[in-house]
Amino acid sequence: MQPSGIVLALGAGGARGLAHIGVLQVLAEQDIPVRAIAGSSIGAQVGALYARLGDPAQIARIAMGVDWKQTLQLFLPDLGSGGLSSGRKIMEFLQTHLGAARIEDLTLPYTAVATDLHSGEEVLLRRGRVVDAVRASISLPGLLSPFLHGERLLVDGGIVNPVPFDVARALYGGPVVAVAVHQGARGLSASEMTPVPPPSWRTQLRRFLDQPWTHHAGPVRQWLEEQLATPSVQDEHVNDWRPRHVLTQAVNIAQAQMVRLRLQSIPPDLYLMPDVDALGPLEFYRAREAIAAGRAAALEQLADLFALAHRRPEAYGAPGTVPRVPMGGPVPPIDADNP
């Protein structure tokens, strides 16, 4: 007999995914057990921290300890191969909190979703070092270098599966509670796609740019200046969007459509959508706002969460028997070892 509790599917979304912490806080406060987690990108990271530490309050302290300067340091371009950043600083951050833990030794069954850059296959990481699985799953193309995993070059899991509720169902049965924080989860709009950084962030970033050394680091300076630039969304007929924003919007549209198709085929038992529209994907210094949004979304559906927590997992069939829905062609997910 399987243990009772819900299976979480934590979605991709950059800093917006810190809302997952708020959802976990409410579940812990209400004694609603979590028996397994599948996550993509930031969902894989928060899920790993929970499976490793088991304390949402501790994870919240870690998240809220990251200010704007540390955010810059984590993502500051160092011209890594295949991305603006090699991800070295992020790997150090992950190792500080996850150590040498292995997935098979975590307190909960856990899966991180990544994407094979060459084949486009969905890769499920269920064994090996937790930090490696998380680093692969958060490798946002263009920003963080792809992660070499054996002979596979892996990138962000959100590319093929922004909210992996179908993975959660296939591997762990049910009931499945999905948390969607990707841009477009609550609807697409020009203003939602390009949230304007708050004045404090822009002021601090401008001060950073004024430091003399940035004049001798062309790519770094260019990247920082792009973070200050936002397209005008006052008139939707005016085309003054920068290429980066156009590309970002196109990816967001594709993600939103992909999730809609999956929702029609193998929906989760509950689909939470925290209101994180105002947060940018790299605004990790706004953890308090994201966590509050996650809490609000979970509290709003608290009655449904209680009802699901009391359902027996056996009612959903044996794990692994639920059919998967390939997206974009007959490409099955790859269950990869993570040495």
Burial class (CB in 10 A: 0-12, 13-18, 19+), 240: exposed
In whole angstroms, give the CA distance from residue 140 to residue 237: 30
- Is 132 considered catalytic here? no
Residue ranges of E strands in 89-183:
110-116, 122-125, 142-144, 147-149, 152-156, 176-179
In whole angstroms, give the CA distance from residue 137 to residue 44: 7
Q: At what angle do helices 199-209 and 218-228 cross, to 10 degrees?
A: 160
Helix extents (H) in the chain: 19-29, 42-53, 56-64, 68-75, 88-98, 130-137, 165-172, 190-193, 199-209, 218-228, 243-265, 287-300, 302-309
Catalytic residue among 116, 132, 156, 277: 156
- Is 156 considered catalytic here? yes
Cross-strand bridge partners of residue 83: 142
Catalytic residue among 41, 137, 139, 145: 41
Cα R_g (the chain), whole angstroms:
19
What one-letter code names the amino acid at 281? P
User: Do 12 and 157 form a contact (C-beta atoms < 8 A)?
Assistant: yes
Active-site positions? 41, 156
